[in-house]
Amino acid sequence: MSIAWGSSPWLGPTLVAGWLTLLAGLAAFVKERWPSQQEWSRKLVHIGTGPVVLIAWATGIDRSIAVPAAAVVTLLAALNHRLRVLPGIEDIDRHSYGTIAYGASITLLLWLLWPAQPQPVAAGVLVMALGDGLAGLLGPLVTSPRWQVFGQTRSLAGTAVMGAATAAALIGVAALQPASAPPGWALLAIAGLATGLEQWASFGVDNLTVPLAVAGMWVWLAPRVA
């Protein structure tokens, strides 16, 4: 079963390029409009990148385009981390390679699973985009118990948001192709694993571990569909 509806080979890449360009523009606007909120523009890009995999899935972007494109975007993220061409994406006080790791995880998932298994790719990417992104935005706004994990501050509110958003993302992806999705209990187990892994975020390593673990667990726990 496929949700692909694109008939032109250029439709998907054009939509993805347009979406990423829009995100970059919005990040620059947010950075200029609210300069004191350094995380806002970065999290906007973090969350907004997630739907790209759904666009690729829906339009049937070929592996020969998806994998090199993701690799190029990751390389550009690495250059931007160094040169700060788009400061709205990387201009934060803490030292993090999260944006690069995020791109690397997407590239690896596409290389390993695309296009034969788009569902676990979407699950891994969207969990990180929505779960981690919303946790980073909403967690600091709510007063709740906090703790340190390898020098990174974590909070009960942020962890709760991560868990809830992760579960919602997994259920949403499962609804796209229910026959090939893990059962409900497995989705909750994957959400718990992702929430636990997100606690260790030194240097942005969670942007690599969470998507890969989610996709791997999805493949392992999903029913075998002929």
pLDDT digits (tens), the chain, 226 positions: 444 444 567 888 899 989 989 988 888 888 888 887 877 887 888 899 899 999 999 999 999 999 999 999 888 877 866 665 555 455 555 456 778 888 899 999 999 999 999 999 999 999 999 998 899 888 888 889 999 888 788 999 999 999 999 999 999 999 999 999 999 999 999 999 999 999 988 878 899 999 999 999 999 999 875 4
Cβ atoms of 42 and 92 closer than 8 Å: yes
Cβ atoms of 137 and 159 closer than 8 Å: no
Domain that holds residue 212: 11-221
42 part of a folded domain: yes
Quote the pTM value.
0.87
83 part of a folded domain: yes
Cβ atoms of 47 and 133 closer than 8 Å: yes
User: What is the pairing mode between strands 146-149 and 152-155?
Assistant: antiparallel
6 part of a folded domain: no
99 part of a folded domain: yes
**What total number of domains does the chain contain?**
1
* Cis bond upstream, residue 68 (ω within 30): no
147: part of which helix (H) or strand (E)?
strand 146-149
2 part of a folded domain: no
Phi, psi (deg, nearest 5) at residue 218? -60, -50
1 part of a folded domain: no
154: part of which helix (H) or strand (E)?
strand 152-155
Residue 194, CA atoms < 13 Å, CB-side half-sphere? 39
Cβ atoms of 44 and 26 closer than 8 Å: yes
